[in-house]
């Protein structure tokens, strides 16, 4: 009888260990990344990088204002593989703020409005992605890992 009980206990443990559908799952991560280039409307010249740069890319800042506090967002200069490894700015939003600002140079600030889509998963918790991105109230046709090309 004890042998039967031990066998039954081992069988139950194996069944429950084998039924863990989340055990080996690689979870998707939230995507709150934006790749930005700033080009001149008339000529298409890059205003951040190269010989026609109008703004110093190192001094471009991204921030949100929440309860009178300024929250700075991480940004880095990156190579964008989908456009011949062109140099762009990569902005990583660590939290889901519906609005953030970009400060290009002395006295030049523009506004981004973001709509997010969140969904709960069984194994990975809540995943939040950017659904749409407006730049100064103009739709940028944002899609995941796309380049947001702004014109001045």
- DSSP string covering 114-135: EEEEEEEETTTEEEEEEEEEEE
Between 3 and 138, the more confident residue is 138
Average pLDDT of span 55-71: 89
Range in 1-5, 87-91, 110-114 the model is least confident about: 1-5
Q: What per-residue confidence (pLDDT) applies to 8?
A: 67
13 pLDDT exceeds 80?
Answer: no
55 pLDDT exceeds 90?
Answer: no
Distance between CA 30 and CA 36 in Å, rounded?
19
Q: What per-residue confidence (pLDDT) applies to 20?
A: 65
Instruction: Please write the tens of the pLDDT for every residue from 124-148.
Output: 888 888 888 898 998 888 876 666 7
Between 22 and 54, the more confident residue is 54
Q: Where are the beta strands (DSSP E) in the chain?
A: 33-39, 61-66, 69-80, 86-92, 99-105, 108-121, 125-135, 138-139, 147-151
Look at the pTM and tell me if it is higher than 0.85: no
The sheet carrying 61-66 orders its strands as 138-139, 125-135, 108-121, 99-105, 61-66, 69-80, 86-92, 33-39, 147-151
Distance between CA 39 and CA 151 in Å, rounded?
5
Residue reference for tokens 């890992």: 145
Pairing of strands 125-135, 108-121: antiparallel
Average pLDDT of span 28-41: 83
Instruction: Please write the tens of the pLDDT for every residue from 77-89.
Output: 999 887 788 889 9
Q: What per-residue confidence (pLDDT) applies to 105?
A: 75
Neighbours of 65 (CB within 10 A): 12
CB-count exposure of residue 139 (10 Å: 0-12, 13-18, 19+): exposed
């Amino acid at each position: 009888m004890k042998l039967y009980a031990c066998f039954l206990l081992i069988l139950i443990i194996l069944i429950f260990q084998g039924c863990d559908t989340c055990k080996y799952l690689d979870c998707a991560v939230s995507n709150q990344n934006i790749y930005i280039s700033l080009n001149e409307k008339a000529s298409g010249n890059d205003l951040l990088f190269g010989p026609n740069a109008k703004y110093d890319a190192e001094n471009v800042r991204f921030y949100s204002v929440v309860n009178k506090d300024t929250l700075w967002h991480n940004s880095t200069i990156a190579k964008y593989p989908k456009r011949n490894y062109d140099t762009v700015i990569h902005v990583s939003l660590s939290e889901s703020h519906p609005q953030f600002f970009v400060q290009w140079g002395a006295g030049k600030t523009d506004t981004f409005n973001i709509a997010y889509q969140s969904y709960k998963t069984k194994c990975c918790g809540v995943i939040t992605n950017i659904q749409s991105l407006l730049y100064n109230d103009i739709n940028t046709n944002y899609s995941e890992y796309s380049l947001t090309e702004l014109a001045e």
